[in-house]
Homo-oligomer: A and B are copies of this chain.
Amino acid sequence: MKIVAAKQILKANDQLAAENRLRFQHRGVFGVNLVGSPGCGKTTLLESLFRTLRGRVSPAVIEGDIAGQIDADRMTAMGVPVVQINTDGMCHLDANMIAAAWDGLEGDAEQAVDMLIVENVGNLVCTAGYDLGEHLRIVVLSVSEGDDKLVKYPAIFQRSQALVITKMDLLPYTNFNVERVRGDMRRLNPDAEIFAVSALQGDGMDGLADWLAARRSAVPATSRS
């Protein structure tokens, strides 16, 4: 019974996600689903990314959190249109929440948004199962989390198109082995891109930003209104 119900929920979610993807494409919007553990540095990565991409993309953000609006306030401070979703205990975002949040963003943004980044709830497990309608899923892993996470939480690394290793400025103070992580990722997901950055210090951000801008340009926009 439980398994059937879960499958039905996921099937319904997949249908809603496909609808979201069509809506985004009609508006020429490239959708990114950013996932990772609590405290892996997703918000700081976005702040650094938006600084690096200034003038090249017009981003909007959907922030997913159990409670609070700390991250949404940080996006507002950067002048980025943002909607905060409070999941009230739910451990992941789903396509239905994104549809509702996008309703709010679509009308309000002063200029045409061409990149929507969803910062998911901090969770390396449950977020792996839910398509939100994104074009690209990026998983974030900080060096302070340790280099064994791909072995322990394989699904989310298999189901992402890019891995961003963050907090490289902390590398000298940890026993994190970047080459081990690169090797594990290549085994789990040979086609994924791998970036290593320090969002605080800016190292590696140009490569990530260029790649993301190129991916955005390649989105098959049905029309760009």
A161 contacts chain B at the CB level, 8 A cutoff: no
User: Is B122 within 8 A of A66, CB to CB?
Assistant: no
- Residues of A1-50 at the interface with B, using a CB-CB cut-off of 8 Å, are 2, 5, 9, 37-40
- Please give, as numbers and ranges, the residues of chain B lying within 8 Å of A169 by CB-CB distance: 173
- Please give, as numbers and ranges, the residues of chain B lying within 8 Å of A152 by CB-CB distance: 38, 65-68, 70, 122
- Please give, as numbers and ranges, the residues of chain B lying within 8 Å of A148 by CB-CB distance: 68, 70
Q: Contact partner of A123 among B2, B70, B125, B146, CB < 8 A?
A: B125
Bound-complex Cα distance A32 to B169 (A): 34
Number of A interface residues at 8 Å Cβ cutoff, please give it: 36
Q: Contact partner of A170 among B38, B65, B67, B170, CB < 8 A?
A: B170
User: Is B167 within 8 A of A144, CB to CB?
Assistant: yes
**How many copies of this chain?**
2
User: Is A122 within 8 A of B124, CB to CB?
Assistant: yes
User: Is B37 within 8 A of A122, CB to CB?
Assistant: yes
A203 contacts chain B at the CB level, 8 A cutoff: no
A153 contacts chain B at the CB level, 8 A cutoff: yes
Q: Contact partner of A145 among B38, B68, B174, CB < 8 A?
A: B38
Q: Can you list the 4 inter-chain pairs with the closest CB atoms, starting with the nearest?
A: A39-B145, A144-B144, A91-B125, A68-B151
- Please give, as numbers and ranges, the residues of chain B lying within 8 Å of A204 by CB-CB distance: none
- Residues of A149-204 at the interface with B, using a CB-CB cut-off of 8 Å, are 149, 151-155, 167, 169-170, 173-174
